[in-house]
Amino acid sequence: MVKIKLKKQQLKIYDPVEIFVDGEKIVLQKYKAAQECVVTGEVAPENFSLLDGKLVLSLEGAERLMKELEDSLSVKYPFLNEK
């Protein structure tokens, strides 16, 4: 049963994994590098972190996030567009 679930996670032998407890379950999940962009999933030394390391972005991820924020905020708060 464990082998089947590992295949669903696309884990291979020698892949790094994270192990943690969720209630009464032991959870294995593929390890993701700490500097992975939360928007694009890109791992690169150029990625930067904000909010005391809680948010990691690549340049492309930052641009996409800015566009999304501008679009969302301009609809919800149109007075922000006034210059």
Tens-digit pLDDT profile for residues 20-74: 899 998 888 877 766 889 999 998 889 999 998 889 999 999 999 999 999 998 8
User: Which 3 state secondary structure label does DSSP give 35?
Assistant: coil
pTM (2 d.p.): 0.54
Question: CA 59, 64, 70, 72 torsion: positive or negative?
Answer: negative
Please enumerate in sequence order all residues whose Cβ is within 8 A of that of 18, keeping only pairs 6 or more positions apart, or say none.
28, 29, 30, 31
Q: Where are the domains of the chain?
A: 1-31, 33-83
6 vs 19 pLDDT, higher one? 19
Q: How far apart are CA 27 and CA 6, in angstroms?
A: 11
